[in-house]
Chain A
Amino acid sequence: MSLKSERRGIHVDQSDLLCKKGCGYYGNPTWQGFCSKCWREEYQKGRQKQIQEDRELAERLQREEEEAYASSQGAQGTQPSLTFSKFEEKKTNEKTRKVTTVKKFFSASSRTVPKKENQETKAPSPSINRQVSIETEQVSKEFIEFLKPCQKAGHDVYKQCKICLEAMQQKREASIEEQSEYVQDFYHNTAEKLQLRWKMPSEKVEDVMDHIEKFIMTRSYKHVFCPETTDDEKKDLTVQRRIRALHWVTSQMLCVPVNEDIPEVSDMVVKAITDIIEMDSKRVPRDKLACITRCSKHIFNAIKITKNEPASADDFLPTLIYIVLKANPPRLQSNIQYITRFCNPSRLMTGEDGYYFTNLCCAMAFIEKLDAQSLNLSQEEFDRYMSGQSSPKKQDAENWPPDACLGVKQMYKNLDLLSQLNERQERIVHEARKLEKDLIDWTDGVTKEVQDIVEKYPLDIKPKPQPLAAIDSENVENDKLPPPLQPQVYAG
């Protein structure tokens, strides 16, 4: 439950979200800041020509592709990679250039992954070319196997996919928006065709579309992820630096409803961080989405354990922001762009994955625009933390660099605990001494008081007055009684 006192004004300037053409609608980064309408106008002419060319290309390739499919069905799918060998040659130059930039990017700015397992799944590595071709071949095989039971429809889908890939190859120099538009149109038309022409039930269509996405995007990934024609890479670095500069942000400032002192919760937090970092290693948009969804599920678990009630958006978004800040996921901007451009749209629009993805987009937008007000800090405080002049008073080892080793963190946490214990021990000893002194003082005090009183009122016992004996003398019969006891004085 959010507290009213924490609510502040609008921190993202609305004009940043409007269409660049100034038509009053909202723009979208995917459309280079235009709204969908203006963007469409901008690109319509170029596209028209392109569509015509695609059609001609498609016709030319049709026979060739049918043959390829026929022979691949006989030979268990070894053929497709052959069909593509000619492309592999053509793009060699381009590829080597690209790989070096990717490597450079990674050595300069990549951060260490907290868990070892992640290292293995990390895609970018010097041997990427080899791995990719094996993986690509595997995906092709699986795709053909998957399509076989669909018979005629399967044959058609395969053919269309090859045409799509050829067209993508032709478009390599075109803008990324154009390539995205082409793939999105392809998804849309294929889904429609499966439903209308091949009368597939909608669940089956979804399934086929997932496989199509996997097939197309495994092959296109290299060329359309963080393409050189865009400034995605530059933006990635900006975001990464921004997150690093915000290392001092605590979970309290964001009102994150997660208590990391509970071991199960901190476990979930680590898992969520691992998931979001892993996203970068996947090539298929849907697999990337799956990482975001897993991350979100871990966040929900952490909230559920802490609060014992289902998480609402007001719990979830701040926690996701916190996780993104802690994880500093590699190439965040590029991954978001890539998913937006090349994911099957039905998933992004209404599905559960789409919801979590949208929240990730929100988290990034929030982080980019984050200011003093959004953390309930004064401008001076914010500036001091930003410039590193001081850091917020930390409860625990809160402002570690994001890549600090977990063991070391734990060690420092333990040291911290030990020094706290030591402090308490000293306090106890001190108190004990004080108690001892108090006791002594008290005895002394009592003794002194007693002495004073004794001095003031000395114990003075006087001898028994005589007249008492005369009372007895009046009794005559008393002669027979033993003599009365004489009072005796005892020395004190």
Chain B
Amino acid sequence: MEQFIYYLKVSFVSIKRAPLPYALTIFILSVGLGIFFANATFYYQLNSDPLPHKSSKLFFPMMLLAPYECTDCKPPAVLSYSNIEKLSQSDIPSAKTAMYSADGYLRKNAEQTPMPVNIRITQRDFFSMFDVPLLHGSVWPDNSARLEIILSKATAEKLFGRTDAVGEKLLLDDRHLTVTAVLDDWQMLPRLYDANNRNHLSPADDIYLPLETGYDMNYLSNTQSQTFDDTDYRKLSTQGRTGALNQLQYWVQLDTPTAQQAYKQFMANLAQDEKVAGRHPSEPNNQLVAMRNIVNYFGGESSDIKAFALVTLLFLLVCLFNASHLSLNRYLGNQYEFSLRRALGASRGQLQLQMLADVLLMAVFTIAGALLTGYAGIKLMNHLLPRNSLFSSWDLPLLLSLLAVAFICSYLVTLYPSLRASFGTLNQQLKE
């Protein structure tokens, strides 16, 4: 250990000999790595699994149920109320929930200025399926219509200045509702349950309303709706439940492969029944997409992030190349010292330990520089692409991998030059 501290001291002395090229090497590495860090952060967060313990059990069923002849039609990404009624009859899934989102205005009483809110209109299983944490109160006991509302923690705090708002009355677009629960902080990242509307990168909703109540109150979907007949989508409360107005996302939890297989069969039977009943003349086309594949299925992968990832990787390579060139010059400048050390009896192993000390020092400086640049890079990207800003946090595994990358880069930048310098002809430098 004492010997290694000595090696560190020697590294320091040799840095002090030519501080400028060294600083430049660190700078180049830091910039390359920092930009890479910033981008890797987004990439990592976008591709992370928000529910690692159960994402493989959550599925998004889609069925092509169109009342007219349709060849080569893909099933729509949303279903109609009557589709959901039929799908809900199966008790193969251990949980199931239909949902859509809408906009509204919320206030405590008529004196307050209303604030705009994003409403998730859904069913009771939503909260257990996606592991939504409750802070106060309880979720609706069933899926029937009720004038009850669940608030996000932030919404409760905004309205009441506290989180325990259970039992409080509210005005949602001037209709009276009672708060039955308040969620704890919750942000699923990415929000895969909303991926078919490419909303998986946006923040969680502000309030939650029962599906039946949403229909009763005529809340129109603010994302995607499709009609396959002459239903007027604006008359949701009267025609929405019977007409072919598709606007509902549907999720089921299928815990075993057997259940998944059985559910596929159930969907096939359902499509067949519809065909026999004359409500669906086309060939059946059903899909059961696993949650982890949903973004891919809907083609919602952000190509800007992908392209940028490639560019930053190339940039990192260029920086590595330049830094190792600079570092090579530095080592060749010190080559005579390598030869001297060899003459005084240093083995290759001992020179390599010296090199490791060099690497460690460089890694420390580079990591500090790269973290700073990376942090600044994320701030900049959040500024340029605000919709990705949820994806800019560093967790421990990510941070550790980033540090490992920085260390490896420092190693590469030091390894080749120092090997070259230490394997040069021994005597040549000392003769003159």
Do A and B interact?
Answer: no
Chain B interface residues toward A at CB < 8 A: none
Chain A interface residues toward B at CB < 8 A: none
